[in-house]
Structure 1
């Protein structure tokens, strides 16, 4: 025994299309498949398949979150550190590393004092590359320091003036 025809679905309309149209809130008809139902004023925001209800990509959601939270500058500074090899060049990055960022000054530590001096001569080029690639990082100046060597003059147990290691007096 054949199934009775659904009065809401024309005979020439496939069942899958009719189901889709019914879920979208459209009344399938033999004349037009695009006739839309009238919307009530209270169901515009909460109804399924309404404009603006499409899911957003994870990248778009995270970008909106960082922009709204004010994290763009901090993330740009982290990108400078992460891509230091690209910013400074491969050879230079093998002998240097970013160590601090404070008040718009990026501090770079070099393996030797010779590298630190060479980088001071290249300061304008490196700073312009950082500003070009990461303008939101807020880097105003670059400071180059030599290797971190132990010092007798600094530290929690340093004595001001002539101290206990003074053997001349």
Structure 2
């Protein structure tokens, strides 16, 4: 210590005297950064004069700018894509027990609709035969509900039997057919 100097006070640097107090909000720092950046890269543009816009307010009646219901939007999509006939057939085939009766529905399932032909798979050949006799009435019911010409034929398939062919080579002949009766 030198004579005449107080021991408790540290010496102040000239930089510390010029430094402002800390701003807890950070606005001063943000302004300083924005000022340095704005001068170098960003320039303020003058607003362009534009044509006056028409008012965008809606009236008391609904129009295209109003929110639309999801169901109405889906209906428009289905109609524009031409899916309405396909969807109606699928919905009606979902009610298969009503069309063929509950007993026949337990043993048969509609598996497809393509090019006006409905394909049905049955549990047994006897049920396939019974549904083949009902096919003209089923076509009439489906066309009555969906419109004429929607269904022209019902193709009824019997049960899928296992294939006895295993591998690349097989032996000619009937194979083990005595298990089916």
User: TM-score under structure 2 normalisation?
Assistant: 0.55
Structure 2 residue 160 is matched with structure 1 residue 144: no
> Which residue does the alignment assign to 2:109?
97
SS of the residue 2:129 aligns to: helix
SS in structure 2 of the partner of residue 122 of structure 1? helix
The match for 2:62 among 52, 55, 69 is 52
Q: What is the Cα deviation at residue 165 of structure 1?
A: 5.4
5+ residue gaps, structure 2, are 1-52, 175-181
Deviation at 1:94, TM superposition (A): 0.9
After TM superposition, which residue ranges in structure 1, 4 or more long, deviate above 4 angstroms? none
Shift of 1:158: 6.6
Q: 2:144 aligns with which of 132, 139, 149?
A: 132
Cα drift, residue 140 of structure 1: 1.4
1:118 corresponds in structure 2 to 130
Partner of 2:163: helix, strand, or coil? Answer: coil
SS at match of 2:109: strand
Q: Quick check: which has more Rg, 1 or 2?
A: 2
Alignment of 1:1-169 (within 5 A): 42-43=54-55, 46-53=56-63, 54-135=66-147, 138-152=150-164, 163-164=170-171
Measure how far apart 1:76 and its partner are. 1.9
CA contact (8 A) 1:73 1:137 kept: no
> How far apart are 1:47 and its partner, in Å?
1.6
**Superposition RMSD in Å:** 3.0
Partner of 1:144: helix, strand, or coil?
strand
Moved more, 49-58 or 81-90: 49-58
- Give structure 1 stretches of 5+ with no counterpart: 1-40
The total of aligned residue pairs comes to 120
Distance 2:148 2:71 in 1: 19
